[in-house]
Amino acid sequence: MRGEEKPQVCVIGLGYIGLPTAAIIARANCPVTGIDVSQHVVDTINRGEIHIEEVDLDGLVRGVVQRGLLKASTQVQPADVFVIAVPTPFEHDGQHTPDLSYVMAAATEVAGVLKKGDCIILESTSPVGTTETMRDLIAGLRPDLKLPGLTSETPDVAIAYCPERVLPGRILEELTNNDRSIGGITPRCARKALAFYKRFVRGTCVTTDARSAEMCKLVENSFRDVNIAFANELSIIADKMGLDVWEVIRLANRHPRVNILQPGPGVGGHCIAVDPWFIVHGAPEEAKMIRAARDINDAKMHHVVARAAALVEANPGAKVACLGLAFKANIDDFRESPARFVASRLAQKFGSRISVVEPYAAELPREFDGTGAQLVDIDTALEECGVLIVLVDHDIFRVIPFEERSSAVVYDTRGIWPDALGAPEKPGLRLAS
Ligand code: SAJ
């Protein structure tokens, strides 16, 4: 591939990151083959449809599929640039050991079709050293190719690490406009990957080495986790002191160099609650604060369950509404969600007294089966329930006027109703943590 020609691109993994990335590359007129292990996902995309919810993604995918720029397959195809965007969970072995099997399986398939001049870019959030491990795996599979960092001659292929940084709900905008860190195994690899990203990224692309780029991604999400842990700890301290934590944070954040995030029922999703463990696993003795933040944020979920249960027991005649199941506001993603954890624990304890309001859900998740809890709409909850437990700050909850909830006892773990101040035991008033 010469500089001005459009590279043929193969994006491996068509999830929340891979599919929007594939579509944006295709929009820049580079022909893309998207690869996924799921035949259902492949068929859906080849019809010009999508299997995930994301703002404006449906129209974009339909357009690039219709123009023949994006097609999907279950088999990795030869290409000039390979972008790997597969999951990197951790194992539930007590050690939070990173599970790199998806990355290494993708690299193995790429090795099968790799040719001189190609570029491989890993985007999956990964422990430090993963890009080099991937390179070593490919070196073993393809002894005919000279790989970067392992040869004193000009390498045959380039390998780089470039983490995604996008926020669900804003993925297309952030994929285009966010700055990117591009870490090459060698500076030449970084330059090659940089030329590729410049085709579709408007943000500034900064080059570095692969290990620094890997750590940079983990540090970004750990920074957010530590900040939220600080807010969650403050919420418990503020309750003990009879203070409104949101008022305290609002005031403190007026200082030009203070920016405290918001407390909540815990930290969910597949990034902030996972990535810090990759640092802890790599440096268990040294990563003290990062581990403590994870523990504080996980403990907050149990704290909320206990306080909510006490509130339900203190109001024996009342029906109880848990507002929200999603892992954060205004999205339909219920995986790794503290709200879902809290609501299901309450359902298991209090059965049919519990109603759940989740405008993004068609039915309750499996762990609610047999509990007697029901999914209701917000109007029903406001009519029937004497206890309201706010678990997600969906806009639809935020805008409920005071008059419609003034007779209920409120436990607002997200601070969405600042008009309901005071002691939690009284109707219409709220509890912070
Ligand atoms: N949360 C709070 N308080 C806050 C902010 C968030 O309790 O003030 C909670 C949310 O409710 C949610 C969790 O934290 O349960 C995570 O939500 P989030 O909005 O902080 O982050 P994610 O997981 O949607 O996306 C993060 C982003 N990382 C950073 O902002 C540093 C995103 O840019 C990354 O691309 C993404 O992780 C990722 O894929 O790694």
Q: Which is nearest to 146 in space by CA: 109, 107, 115? A: 115
Structural domains of the chain sorted by starting position, each given as residue range(s) with its CATH number in brackets: 9-203 (3.40.50.720), 245-431 (3.40.50.720)
Residue from 10, 30, 271, 322 carrying the catalytic annotation: 271
> Measured from the CA of 297, which atom of ligand 1 is nearest?
7
Enter the tokens of residue 58: 């449906």
Q: What is the pLDDT of residues 325-357, one digit of tens each?
A: 999 999 889 989 999 999 999 999 999 999 999
Residue 90 is classified by DSSP as B
> Measured from the CA of 221, which atom of ligand 1 is nearest?
31
What does each C-alpha distance from 184 to 139, 148, 192, 324 come to in angstroms?
A: 16, 9, 9, 42
What is the identity of the amino acid at 412?
Answer: D
Taking the alpha carbons at both ends of the chain, their separation in whole angstroms is 57
Residue 422 reports pLDDT greater than 50: no
Residues in contact with 101: Cβ distance below 8 Å, sequence separation at least 6, in sequence order: none
**Residues, the chain, total?**
433
Q: What is the pLDDT of residues 221-274, one digit of tens each?
A: 999 999 999 999 999 999 999 999 999 999 999 999 999 999 999 999 999 999
Mean pLDDT over 124-152 rounds to: 98
Residues in contact with 281: Cβ distance below 8 Å, sequence separation at least 6, in sequence order: 90, 95, 96, 97, 98, 127
SS (H, E, C) 211-273: HHHHHHHHHHHHHHHHHHHHHHHHHHHHHHHCCCHHHHHHHHCCCCCCCCCCCCCCCCCCCCC
Enter the tokens of residue 360: 């993004």
Where are the extended beta strands (E) located within 350-403?
354-357, 374-375, 385-390
pTM above threshold 0.75: yes
Residue from 192, 217, 300, 319 carrying the catalytic annotation: 217
271 is catalytic: yes
Q: What is the pLDDT of residues 177-197, one digit of tens each?
A: 999 999 999 999 999 999 999
Residue 282 reports pLDDT greater than 90: yes
Measured by CA distance, the residue closest to atom 34 of ligand 1 is: 165
Q: What is the pLDDT of residues 384-394, one digit of tens each?
A: 999 999 999 99
> Measured from the CA of 329, which atom of ligand 1 is nearest?
11
Measured by CA distance, the residue closest to atom 7 of ligand 1 is: 264
Residue 103 reports pLDDT greater than 50: yes
